[in-house]
Chains A and B, each alone.
Chain A
Amino acid sequence: MSTVRIRAVMHRHWIVLRRAPHRWFEISFWPVMDVLLWGSLGAFVSQETPDSRAATPYLLAGIVLFWTFTQAQFSIALGVNEETWTRNILNVLTTPVSELEYITGIALFGLLKLALCLATLTVSTIVFFSFDLSSIGWSVIPIMVLLVINGWALAMLVVGLVLRFGQSAEILIWGFNYVLMAFSGVFFPAGALPDGLRSVAEVLPMTKTFAALRAVLDGRPLPWSTLAAALVGSILFFAGAIAFATWLLHVFRRRGFVTRYS
Chain B
Amino acid sequence: MTAGLDVVVARSLTKRFRRQVAVDNLDLVVPAGARIGLLGPNGAGKTTTLLMLLGAITPDAGTIDLVGLRLPRHRSKALGRVGFVAGYLPLPENLKVREALTIFAGLYGLRRPSPIVEAAIEKFAIGHLADQQSRELSSGQRTLVSIVKSTLHEPALLVLDEPTASLDPEVARRVRLALLDIHREWGTTLLVTSHNMREVETLCERVVILTHGRIAADGSPSDVAASFDTDDLEEAFLQVAAEARQAGGAEDHPTVHR
Q: Contact residues of A with B, CB < 8 Å? A: 2, 4-5, 7-9, 11-12, 15-16, 19-20, 86-88, 90-98, 250, 253-260, 262
Please measure, in the bound complex, the distance between the C-alpha atom of A250 and the C-alpha atom of B257, giving whole angstroms. Answer: 15
- B70-99, CB < 8 A from A: 75-77, 79-80, 82, 84, 86, 88-95, 99
The 4 closest A-B CB pairs, nearest first, are: A8-B106, A256-B257, A259-B254, A95-B107
Tell me whether B58 is interfacial, beta carbon within 8 Å.
Answer: yes
Contact residue among B82, B106, B113 (Cβ-Cβ distance under 8 Å from A94): B82
User: Is the beta-carbon distance between A96 and B77 smaller than 8 angstroms?
Assistant: yes
- B73 CB, nearest partner CB in chain A, Å: 12
Contact residue among B15, B17, B51, B256 (Cβ-Cβ distance under 8 Å from A258): B51
User: Is the beta-carbon distance between A15 and B91 smaller than 8 angstroms?
Assistant: no
Residue ID in chain B nearest A91 by CB atoms = B89
- Contact (A86, B17) CB under 8 Å given A94-B84, A97-B107, A255-B257: no
User: Is the beta-carbon distance between A259 and B255 smaller than 8 angstroms?
Assistant: yes
Tell me whether B33 is interfacial, beta carbon within 8 Å.
Answer: no
Q: Contact residues of B with A, CB < 8 Å? A: 15, 17, 47-48, 51, 54-58, 60, 75-77, 79-80, 82, 84, 86, 88-95, 99, 102-111, 113, 254-258
- Contact (A96, B258) CB under 8 Å given A256-B51, A258-B56, A262-B89: no
- A167 CB, nearest partner CB in chain B, Å: 12
- A–B pairs, 18, beta carbons within 8 Å: A2-B109, A5-B109, A8-B107, A11-B106, A15-B103, A19-B94, A87-B90, A90-B89, A94-B54, A94-B55, A96-B77, A250-B58, A253-B56, A256-B48, A258-B57, A259-B256, A259-B257, A259-B258
| Complex interface: chain B residues within 8 A of A97 (CB) | 76, 107
Residue ID in chain B nearest A87 by CB atoms = B90
Chain A interface SS verdict (over half):
helix
| Complex interface: chain B residues within 8 A of A90 (CB) | 56, 86, 89
| Complex interface: chain B residues within 8 A of A11 (CB) | 102-103, 106
Please measure, in the bound complex, the distance between the C-alpha atom of A175 and the C-alpha atom of B256, giving whole angstroms. Answer: 30
User: Is the beta-carbon distance between A15 and B108 smaller than 8 angstroms?
Assistant: no
User: Is the beta-carbon distance between B109 and A254 smaller than 8 angstroms?
Assistant: no
Having A90-B86, A256-B51, A257-B258, one finds 5 other A-B pairs with CB under 8 Å, namely A87-B90, A91-B89, A95-B104, A95-B107, A262-B254
User: Is the beta-carbon distance between B17 and A256 smaller than 8 angstroms?
Assistant: yes
User: Is the beta-carbon distance between B57 and A9 smaller than 8 angstroms?
Assistant: no
- B23 CB, nearest partner CB in chain A, Å: 11
User: Is the beta-carbon distance between B107 and A262 smaller than 8 angstroms?
Assistant: no
Please measure, in the bound complex, the distance between the C-alpha atom of A259 and the C-alpha atom of B56, giving whole angstroms. Answer: 9
| Complex interface: chain B residues within 8 A of A95 (CB) | 79, 104, 107-108
User: Is the beta-carbon distance between B79 and A254 smaller than 8 angstroms?
Assistant: no
Contact residue among A20, A253, A258 (Cβ-Cβ distance under 8 Å from B94): A20
- Contact (A15, B99) CB under 8 Å given A93-B55, A258-B57: yes
- A48 CB, nearest partner CB in chain B, Å: 48
User: Is the beta-carbon distance between B108 and A96 smaller than 8 angstroms?
Assistant: yes
Please measure, in the bound complex, the distance between the C-alpha atom of A250 and the C-alpha atom of B99, giving whole angstroms. Answer: 31
Contact residue among B76, B95, B258 (Cβ-Cβ distance under 8 Å from A15): B95
- A92 CB, nearest partner CB in chain B, Å: 7
- B71 CB, nearest partner CB in chain A, Å: 11
Please measure, in the bound complex, the distance between the C-alpha atom of A7 and the C-alpha atom of B89, giving whole angstroms. Answer: 23
User: Is the beta-carbon distance between B56 and A96 smaller than 8 angstroms?
Assistant: no
User: Is the beta-carbon distance between B110 and A4 smaller than 8 angstroms?
Assistant: yes
- Contact (A94, B56) CB under 8 Å given A8-B107, A11-B103, A256-B257: yes
Please measure, in the bound complex, the distance between the C-alpha atom of A96 and the C-alpha atom of B110, giving whole angstroms. Answer: 11
Q: Which of A12, A88, A91, A255 has the most CB of B within 10 A?
A: A91
Contact residue among B57, B77, B93, B104 (Cβ-Cβ distance under 8 Å from A253): B57
- B106 CB, nearest partner CB in chain A, Å: 3
- B214 CB, nearest partner CB in chain A, Å: 18
User: Is the beta-carbon distance between A4 and B94 smaller than 8 angstroms?
Assistant: no
User: Is the beta-carbon distance between B86 and A262 smaller than 8 angstroms?
Assistant: yes
User: Is the beta-carbon distance between B107 and A96 smaller than 8 angstroms?
Assistant: yes
User: Is the beta-carbon distance between B76 and A88 smaller than 8 angstroms?
Assistant: no
Residue ID in chain A nearest B254 by CB atoms = A259
User: Is the beta-carbon distance between A98 and B76 smaller than 8 angstroms?
Assistant: yes
Q: Which of A5, A88, A96, A255 has the most CB of B within 10 A?
A: A96
| Complex interface: chain B residues within 8 A of A253 (CB) | 55-58
Q: Which of B15, B58, B76 has the most CB of A within 10 A?
A: B76
User: Is the beta-carbon distance between A7 and B106 smaller than 8 angstroms?
Assistant: yes
| Complex interface: chain A residues within 8 A of B82 (CB) | 94
Residue ID in chain B nearest A99 by CB atoms = B76
Please measure, in the bound complex, the distance between the C-alpha atom of A256 and the C-alpha atom of B92, giving whole angstroms. Answer: 21
Please measure, in the bound complex, the distance between the C-alpha atom of A257 and the C-alpha atom of B257, giving whole angstroms. Answer: 7
- A25 CB, nearest partner CB in chain B, Å: 16
